[in-house]
Amino acid sequence: MLHLKIISTFAIDMNNTRFATIIHILTILAKSPSEWLSSDWIADSININPVIVRKELGVLQDQGWVISRKGKEGGSMLNVSSDEITLADIYKAVKNTNVLGKKNLCPNTKCPIGKDINTELEGLFAETDEIVFAALQRRTLRDFVGQFN
Amino acid sequence: MLHLKIISTFAIDMNNTRFATIIHILTILAKSPSEWLSSDWIADSININPVIVRKELGVLQDQGWVISRKGKEGGSMLNVSSDEITLADIYKAVKNTNVLGKKNLCPNTKCPIGKDINTELEGLFAETDEIVFAALQRRTLRDFVGQFN
DNA sequence: GTTAATGTAACAGATTTTATTACATATATA
DNA sequence: TATATATGTAATAAAATCTGTTACATTAAC
């Protein structure tokens, strides 16, 4: 009871859906290669706003993974083979803080622990990120997409 | 320029300082075993509000790692040896979503991808979490604290 | 009793995440 | 060339999450 209370007051972790969104988009594109799919159509599958999809498609274009075409009969499609994109690539495209979260903003430098804590956390956080990258590096978008019928 | 814009609009990842806060607290406690340290003193080292520290101390008490004492001359101290606490334990105590983030809330079940995406993501997310746990399992609080003078 | 600590509720403020509106721009095709 | 229909993106709103703060009941040493 108390514990439940604490958990609800105190959320944790990567608190967004961007990885899920972007891999959903890529999966849809990979399942229909050489077809121009519209952001509205993709958004309808994910059940999110089409503007969000277009923003994420912009990120995918920056990576060179997707090409889009404006105008009537426009849309987006994959620009590379799905086995050229690893899940680590996808995660990196979408991530901008560490797996273990944020470091404290301004610990007290007069305290022997506070003085060095961010240096030590920096190392630990970087190593933890690397472990995740290494694991995701071994899987490709093709592997992921292959799980769907 | 464009890319920077997108990143600033679109933050990602574990967006809180709880792991950093709680390991900071534990490090301070481990460096002064058998001393009752007050939440105010700890808060001053981290440079955060003492109420936050007391809330996190409550989590550490639930784990059995810390005992606290009310009243004058009260405070908190470690209740177990620092080599009995792994960084995986700490992370688990503080985490409540997946490393790769949240799944999409309500994908369209009429879409063949949307229908199954959360099942597939569930597996991937769980495996990724396990990899992080396994890596952090090999390190203890004592190892971490040993890095400080 | 006084002093000084924890425990916790309640709320406020800040930040982050997601959704939405609006519209300029581009392009196929009738 | 006009129309229909896409993307691209700014601007803003709304929702959710995270952090800070105030207040005070409770506890315990002296």
**pLDDT tens by residue, B126-142:** 999 999 999 999 999 99
Give the C-alpha separation, A14 to B79, whole Å.
Answer: 30
What is the predicted pLDDT for the residue at A13?
A: 56
Residue B4 confidence class, pLDDT cut points 50, 70, 90: very low
Q: How far is the CA of B41 from the C1' of C19 (A)?
A: 43
3-state helix, strand, coil in chain B (%, to 5): 60, 10, 35
Q: Could you say which residues from 111 to 130 on chain A have a Cβ atom under 8 Å away from some Cβ of chain B? A: 111-114, 116-117, 120-121, 124, 127-128
What is the predicted pLDDT for the residue at A16?
A: 87
What is the predicted pLDDT for the residue at B106?
A: 83
List bases in chain C with any atom under 7 Å of a protein Cβ. 3-10, 16-22, 25-29
Residue of B27, B110, B113 to mutate for A, most A C-beta atoms under 10 A: B113
Residue A8 confidence (pLDDT) above 70: no
**pLDDT tens by residue, A47-98:** 999 999 999 999 999 999 999 999 999 999 999 999 999 999 999 999 978 9
Residue B96 confidence class, pLDDT cut points 50, 70, 90: confident
What is the predicted pLDDT for the residue at B13?
A: 54
Which string of b and e fits B96-106 if b means at least 16 CB within 10 Å?
ebbbbbbbbee
Count the Cβ atoms, other than its own, within 10 Å of residue B51: 10
**pLDDT tens by residue, A31-54:** 999 999 999 999 999 999 999 999
DSSP string, A52-70: HHHHHHHHHHHTTSEEEE-
**Three-state DSSP class for A101?**
strand
* Model confidence, pTM: 0.90
- DSSP H helix total and E strand total for chain A: 7, 2
For chain A, say whether B5 makes contact (Cβ under 8 Å).
Answer: no
Q: Which of B7, B59, B114 sits opposite A46 (nearest CB)?
A: B114
